[in-house]
Structure 1
């Protein structure tokens, strides 16, 4: 009897041990499965990151990048379909889909066209792309507003889900996750209907959130890459425009023993809107021009090039500076878009008559410093020259205002043209350099060369502004009559 009790006790103990063993084994198996799932999730994310990095390095288009994201979402979740939504003017629209992703709005009117459609996939894509969700509207808008993932394991039981009569569009289970970068919403990723018909669970949600997080980083980096590419294109265009502009500005001036000329030009950006030109008109006449196109950058440089081309052509046609500018205004008015204009001074220097005849279309007044032989000194004389900018007023008004002005230009006299970038340059106290400082800067160096005069002005300007970045183009053209001869 005691032996039977002993055997019975052993059987019970063995059974209990087996139960404990199998329970522990079950736990171990579950842990192994969880570990395997975590490994798969990690591997999926790693492969996804590799794919996205490769696509960014290859300069993949945004649409292709979105398609890779939804494709990876389907593979990692063993889903039948996925869709990515992007924000357009405050509403969210589908920009990439894979599989027959069920529309999330009730679009019965569109379904009327279903049976006449030759392609079910095309119809669904049309329906999806016609959908839009405002912030807070529907499941997509809610995820966008809260920036939190929504997991709906059993969609049939959830009143938030719109169901459709078409069997292929039935929604069984769905995960919707925000695509974020540093808490900035970039889009919404939705994954629908597992292949095995089992509902999505928390592990699937974790995978989708990991993918959405990496997608956010990929989209952000793609934006930076596109900006960099665009910036390189812009830099190339600017460099090209700068080179062309450099070719248009005169490399050397007409040779004349009676005249000494120097020019300083510094654009505020890679390309500028200032123009200066000096060219021979005849054996004893030189054309001199300075102009300032409103605005900066490529549009201003293009208009400047057009201006110079017209100037060179019309200067050979007319002997009067005002006649040149009148025809320039007539020709260029259609070329000058609204809000832009050109100020210009065009002068003709005659070394036989010792005169400068000029016309001014709204540009800064030129400076003339007359030499007094008896006192061996210089004094500044004011030049009166009316005129309005090119492209600013109708032709009849422009013609009525502008006129020629003639001044004597004798040995040792100095004639100076400049743009408002010189006089309107400001210091840290927001005080302008101004015309009076410009005059005071020029006077001490008038007995030296034109190059020294310009260098003195620029040095004084830099000291005044404390070499802060130029907000406008700087152009300075100085002409001195040496009186040593007349040959060009």
Structure 2
């Protein structure tokens, strides 16, 4: 009897020392890998566990984080999902898992965190459900895994805070991306509408007054969404504005923009782009379309057409395989409607797209109205069509009306 008490006393001392060691490791904020190593050593050396496999639930997958006493081939054959319904320590039948004697579910707030398979573990007279080594193993596993779970939650919180800061910076950057003032006179009016898919987006439009007679209008859409797209587009805008101060030659502008996107984006980021330069003195309207949705154009009160000439999307090839600049002469008056594909690809509850045909019809019906009214009516139509269905992409519209 005295010898039994001594054994139990020694076991309790080992268990206490193990808990102290684990607690100290957690307080020292050791990484997950170190905690698993301490867990491994404690069970193998201190508690004399002969066989063990610890499976942790991670993103709907079971990952074996610690195992010893069995080969890796045995681990791969364990049907872990068959034991997900267990909530208490269970004895395993030979047919279920021949290499292990017991399975220990590790729960936290009614959530299954892990499953521990153990074999050849020493038990006391109290049995498997009493104050045995297996019960202590359950407690030790719970402490380790809850600590790791808390570390994960803390890390996610830090990542979310960092993302919020990044998002706030991107918002501030994007506030400077679009022109603060657009022309609004009896002879020349430009109106724009912008709605990002998320808090920040990858669409861009601009109006750049080059001199007394010339101005540039443009619209662009970068592949991707969110913060990376917004930051790439801010670089694109800075490059375009710098180039526009040096030249109004559209072939030079798109060639240089393509080069910068190709190498700054490592060939993984592409931008569709449309730009037009109008000279009110010579009445010449020049444009280039780089893989963008063809804008709708009406000159001198004629019929409405599309502006398709140009090249492929920017950032895909260096140099561009071809460039064809569109030139329209004797343009005394014009109407221009540009948009990004978030508009035509908007879907309704039946997963049907708004489509280019509806856009064309609305523009044709309202081409004589002011750009602001045209944009507003277009958005009312697409919102009614969506019937609450979320947009799939950023939506940008740029409309212009010029009368000599």
What range is the shorter-chain TM-score in?
Answer: 0.7 to 0.9
TM (normalized to structure 1)?
0.61
**Residue 433 (structure 1) aligned to one of 354, 373, 385:** 354
Tell me the secondary structure at the aligned position of residue 313 of structure 2: coil
Residue of 291, 306, 315 corresponding to 2:235: 306
TM-score of the two chains, using structure 2 as the length reference: 0.73
The equivalent residue for 1:186 is: 114
* Residue equivalent to 1:387: 311
Q: Distance in 2 between matches of 1:90 and 1:206?
A: 22
Aligned counterparts of 2:29 and 2:331: Cα–Cα separation in 1? 62
Q: CA RMSD in A?
A: 4.5
Question: 1:410 maps to what in 2?
Answer: 332
Distance 1:225 1:267 in 2: 30
Does the Cα contact within 8 Å between 1:286 and 1:348 map onto a contact in 2? yes
C-alpha distance in structure 1 between counterparts of 2:36 and 2:64, whole Å: 14
Give the CA deviation at 1:266: 0.8
Is 1:270 the counterpart of 2:194? The answer is no
Aligned residue runs from structure 1 range 69-88, under 5 A: 85=54
Q: Quick one: distance in 2 between partners of 1:361 and 1:133?
A: 55
Change (3 A) 1:317 1:81: farther
**Superposition deviation, residue 353 in structure 1:** 2.4
Q: Aligned-pair distance for 1:229?
A: 3.6
Q: Please give the per-residue CA displacement for 1:411-456, whole angstroms capped at 9, x wherever unaligned.
A: 4x32121111112222222322222211222344444432222111
Q: CA deviation at 1:346?
A: 1.2
- Aligned counterparts of 2:53 and 2:166: Cα–Cα separation in 1: 35
Matched, 1:230 2:143: no
**5+ unaligned residues in a row in structure 2: which ranges?**
6-11, 92-97
- Relative to structure 1, is the Cα distance of residues 249 and 437 closer, same or farther in structure 2, using a 3 angstrom cutoff? same
Alignment of 1:7-406 (within 5 A): 62=32, 85=54, 92-94=64-66, 104=69, 135=75, 177-180=104-107, 184=112, 186=114, 188=116, 201-202=127-128, 203=130, 204=132, 205-210=134-139, 212-213=141-142, 219-220=148-149, 222-253=151-182, 258-370=187-299, 372=301, 379-395=303-319, 397=321, 400-406=322-328
Which stretch has the larger CA shift, 221-230 or 256-265? Answer: 221-230
In structure 2, what is the Cα distance between the partners aligned to 1:94 and 1:326?
56
Q: 1:94 to 1:210 in 2, by over 3 A?
A: closer
The SS at the match of 1:135 is helix
Whether the aligned pair in 1 keeps the contact of 2:54 and 2:114 (CA below 8 Å) is no
Tell me the residue number matched to 1:26.
Answer: none
Counterparts of 1:217 and 1:337, CA distance in 2: 41
Gaps of 5+ in 1: 1-32, 34-39, 96-102, 106-130, 152-158, 162-173, 373-377, 484-488
Q: Which residue of 1 aligns with 2:8?
A: none
CA drift at 1:267: 1.0
Task: Specify the structure having the higher radius of gyration (Cα).
Answer: 1
- Match of 1:290, SS state, is strand
CA-CA distance at 1:392 after TM superposition: 2.2
Given the superposition, is the C-alpha separation of residues 309 and 136 from structure 1 closer, same or farther in structure 2, using an over 3 Å criterion?
A: closer
Cα drift, residue 394 of structure 1: 4.2
Q: Aligned in 2, Cα 1:142/1:441: closer, same or farther, shift over 3 Å?
A: closer
The structure in which a higher percent of residues are helix is 1
Paired with 1:201 and 1:305, the residues of 2 have a C-alpha distance of: 68
Q: Which residue of 2 aligns with 1:13?
A: none
Q: 1:90 to 1:69 in 2, by over 3 A?
A: closer
Distance 1:228 1:216 in 2: 18
Q: How many residues align?
A: 369
Structure 2 match to 1:169? none
